[in-house]
Structure 1
Amino acid sequence: MHETLDQYLRSYFASTPDYHSYDEAFLTDFLKMGPLRGFIPTSLGGTYDGTPTCMAMLETVSYHCLPLGLALGITGSLFLQPMAKLAPKELSERILPRFLNSAELGGMMITEPTGGTDIFGLRSTLETANGQATLNGVKCWGGLTGRAEHWLVAARIKKGGKLTRRVAMVYVPLASKGVAVEEYFDALGLQPIAYGRTRYSNVTIPESYVITPPGGSALRDILDTLFRSRMGVSAIAAGQCRRLVDEVTERANSRVSFGRIIAEYDQVQFRLSGLRGMEQVNQSLWHFVGDWKDSHNDVSGDQVLANAVKVMSTDALTAAADSAVQVFAGAAYKRSSVIGRSFTDSRPFQIFEGSNDVLLENTYEVLASRYGGVDPETVGMEFERYGLSVSNEIPAMVREALVRKEELSQRQKVLYGKIVSWMLVQAVLEQESSHTGRVVEDGTRLAHRHMAAHAAEMPYMG
């Protein structure tokens, strides 16, 4: 299936010299080939044989088209996998087989007009009575708005007319009475993925559609799902970074400026090294977390790993697109350029599923709460949770900068989070190189450069 998809996508996206995304006719045909079967258990007719296989498929698809890779990632990570893991058996057995040979998609709705980071601040409500559940609220910025037929929606449980702090996840078909897409946003990129605002007005569904066990809260399940999805972003970023490396390498070897191919210029070589480093970072990250997710049933407590993988992979993706634009120059500033589209389409990855600044601060807060402070020793203790160790090659100035302090400003906490995240990248690069022989020289150099730069910033944070 993997090779078949690669050949099909290569043929479709190479049909014209200019970059183009996909239309609904192509999406329908592509989905009927069964790429989503890899997320569905074999007991329900799927071909799921481990997270690494799913992530390899996302990497391949994202190489050819970033929005298409994201569409599959949304459906697989935020709907199919949590449904298979959490939903009542009779519900999952009825819904998941519909994805085997159809063009149906799924997604998850959490974010509301008032925000999405504070899950206890959600205003959507769910009430249950007499075997029925009633959902009310407004959601926005859910990828595949109005296109996906199946949704998992997060809401706070209302009991006795009072809003509780307990959170529930509920399965809501798009076709349910009372579900209305009020607006489609004129999104800046990632076309044709639709984003918008959806209202749920007295949506009545069977109580069996509530994924959360009676009397419980879905918070742990939501975090487990989101953390797995954040880790999965690294595969999408890896595919697009691999594409950028190929495109820039070809451009550098064919473009002549001042009588020389630009690949001979030192700065272009520096950018090519950086691009290869960003790809190596993402390839190593997705291989590592693919195995990690399969060996751990609950990752809701692995904030540091999930945060670091999501932040580092998406920052690397956007930086790679930035660098590619510099090499392509004006040729990239076109809608028909794969580099120009990557420049625009990569940006939202730093925002959705938790903006990177928020995740970086959270990394610091988790470490400080868990170990009483943040320094190389406590970072090493955290890394042991993941079978990693702090590299002996960490620059000395980084070890000196990462010291315990009683009071840190928010901006300092974010900077600490960046340093810790790059330390994790370095640890993963070394482990992957040791276990697989994967070349990571450019990635290691990139990690050292970023750690040193962040450490040098520390005295000037204000």
Structure 2
Amino acid sequence: MIIELTKEQKMLQKEMQRFCKKELTPEYVAWMDENVNFPPQELWDKFNEIGYFRASIPEEYGGDGLSWVDLMLIQEPVFKASMSVGMAMGVNHAFGGPFIKHLGTEEQKREFLPKFAEGKLKTCMALTEPGGGTDILGALSTYAVEKDDRWVINGEKVFITGAHVADYMVVICKTEENESPSKSLSIFIVPAKSDGITISKIPKISCHHCDSVGITFKDVEIPKKNILGARGKGWYQLIDVLNPERIAVALMGIGLMQAIYDECLAYVKQRHAFGGPISRFQILQKYLADMAINIENARNLTYKAAWLCDHGRPYHVETNMAKVVAAEGAMNAAVYGAEIFGGYGICMEYPIQRYVRDTFQIQFSPISNEMARNVIMQFQGLPKSWS
């Protein structure tokens, strides 16, 4: 499937490439990886100045109302420069705007969407719990109980991206005691500075400048109006909002692969061994060719999934395929890249070690590659292999 980019889309893509080349230099990204747990506010402000945060917000609420294909074009260069920055800046596109846009009341939309468009709010989604990641229905135990004119939340979340800097959290809780798991969930907007919320750092090897943290909710009270969508229908609403997330995760893999490929292609041309450039070695050409093939396959699948999503067509199979191809392609590229660079591949002076670390983050997120394969075959008529 060939997606012909419009003149405007090509300009959008080039603009973002120029921005990333200027603002996300290798030296700056390396500094962030070593020194911060979230991109500095000054970088956030620069993204805001170019209209990054208003891109996905509908025009009637102060945004640009860009399509998913448009969003891919502006996010791919960011992921190539830094997966951590791409995640940190993209959380609002993935979780803030979409939840409010699709599930919010008109009052909620007018309260939150213009602020997202203006870059004034940071958000996160609190879904995953210690008992399980992909097994959302079986593991989720955070509970919200009605008390007079409030909801009271108790429970624990884990691996929540950007919660430590968020202004608001989108929190998924159980609300129905006697219903089946798929009919027991509800979604809430929770002010991140509410009494009873405790944030705990989770040290990890990947995406150092976009921390994932643990959250404990102890008798956290929020207004009753802070529910998003219909009570007890959260599972079905969640699926509709989260399916495009896999498109974004596939794009992370594409960005990583492209960054690794570019670094390795330049390196084999200038590195000499045994009397000449190592680019003449057949095995290294094979590694690079495999990277190029995986980049092309992943990009085609990902942009196809985004196009199908934009046009209201089924895209669940394609987005899971894209996630698997991009994630596994990124892992292979990272391993090949480390081998091409040899000893330098594990030295902090070179970016390859960061690519190796970062690629682990997308092997299991938002679901594992194995589970994505199960979903693909479920759409081919086979039973759920995990039930």
Q: 1:218 — aligned with what?
A: 234
Q: 2:20 — aligned with what?
A: 9
Q: 1:119 — aligned with what?
A: 136
From 273, 276, 293, give the equivalent of 1:277: 293
What fraction of aligned residue pairs are identical, expressed as a percent? 20
5 Å-filtered alignment, 1:332-411, equals: 332-369=345-382
**Do the aligned partners of residues 158 and 56 (structure 1) sit closer, same or farther apart at CA in structure 2, a change above 3 Å counting?**
same
CA root-mean-square deviation: 2.5
Query: Does 2:154 match 1:143?
Result: no
Q: In 2, are the aligned partners of 1:148 and 1:174 still within 8 Å (CA)?
A: yes
TM-score, structure 2 as length reference: 0.87
Q: Deviations over 1:208-231 (max 9, x none)?
A: 2111314x4111111122221012
Query: Does 2:305 match 1:289?
Result: yes
Q: In 2, are the aligned partners of 1:311 and 1:356 still within 8 Å (CA)?
A: yes
CA displacement at 1:25 relative to structure 2: 4.1
> Secondary structure of the equivalent of 2:93?
helix
Query: Does 2:348 match 1:330?
Result: no
Q: Distance in 2 between matches of 1:219 and 1:13?
A: 37
Q: Distance in 2 between matches of 1:68 and 1:250?
A: 24
Q: In 1, are the aligned partners of 2:194 and 2:220 still within 8 Å (CA)?
A: yes
CA displacement at 1:322 relative to structure 2: 1.3
**Do the aligned partners of residues 269 and 15 (structure 1) sit closer, same or farther apart at CA in structure 2, a change above 3 Å counting?**
closer
**Which amino acid letter does the alignment assign opposite residue 14 of structure 1?**
T
Q: Distance in 1 between matches of 2:332 and 2:122?
A: 30
Q: In 2, are the aligned partners of 1:44 and 1:93 still within 8 Å (CA)?
A: yes
Q: Distance in 2 between matches of 1:128 and 1:209?
A: 12
**Do the aligned partners of residues 352 and 119 (structure 1) sit closer, same or farther apart at CA in structure 2, a change above 3 Å counting?**
same
CA displacement at 1:324 relative to structure 2: 1.2
Query: Does 2:43 match 1:27?
Result: yes
**Do the aligned partners of residues 124 and 292 (structure 1) sit closer, same or farther apart at CA in structure 2, a change above 3 Å counting?**
same
Higher RCO, 1 or 2 (CA under 8 Å, sep at least 6)? 2
Q: Deviations over 1:391-419 (max 9, x none)?
A: xxxxxxxxxxxxxxxxxx98xx9xxxxxx
Q: In 1, are the aligned partners of 2:129 and 2:157 still within 8 Å (CA)?
A: yes
Which of 164-173 and 188-197 deviates more?
A: 164-173
> Secondary structure of the equivalent of 1:37?
coil
> Secondary structure of the equivalent of 2:215?
strand
Runs of 4+ in 1 over 6 A off after TM superposition: none
Q: Deviations over 1:93-132 (max 9, x none)?
A: 1112222333632121111111122222311112235442
From 295, 298, 323, give the equivalent of 1:310: 323
CA displacement at 1:365 relative to structure 2: 4.1
Q: 1:209 — aligned with what?
A: 226
Q: Distance in 1 between matches of 2:112 and 2:331?
A: 36
Q: In 1, are the aligned partners of 2:301 and 2:319 still within 8 Å (CA)?
A: no
Larger Rg: 1
Unaligned runs of 5+ in 2: 1-11, 34-38
TM-score, structure 1 as length reference: 0.74
CA displacement at 1:340 relative to structure 2: 1.2
From 107, 116, 121, give the equivalent of 1:104: 121
